[in-house]
Amino acid sequence: MKDGCKIEVCFCNLQSVYLLYMLAKLCYTEKIKSNPCDAKMLKEEHYVWQAFVI
């Protein structure tokens, strides 16, 4: 199974983590458009990213 939304987490600095969050957010939006079946799982991941950044 190929996943174009695989994101490697890097804790180098807050800026890179925020950039990864933005990528995850974009990924989540695109995935819902292309594959609604993954929406629920990705939504949970999205909230994890949100909680982590805030």
Domain ranges of the chain: 14-53
Dihedral angle sign, alpha carbons of residues 2, 48, 10, 53: positive
The predicted structure's pLDDT at residue 14? 57
Confidence of residue 48 (pLDDT cuts 50, 70, 90): low
Higher pLDDT residue, 51 or 19? 19
Direct distance between the N- and C-terminal alpha carbons of the chain, in angstroms, rounded to an integer: 32
CB count within 10 Å of CB 49 equals 20
pLDDT tens-digit readout, 7-45: 554 444 556 667 777 777 777 676 656 655 555 555 555
**pTM of the full structure:** 0.33
Confidence of residue 54 (pLDDT cuts 50, 70, 90): very low
Which residues have CB under 8 Å from 34's CB, separation 6+? none
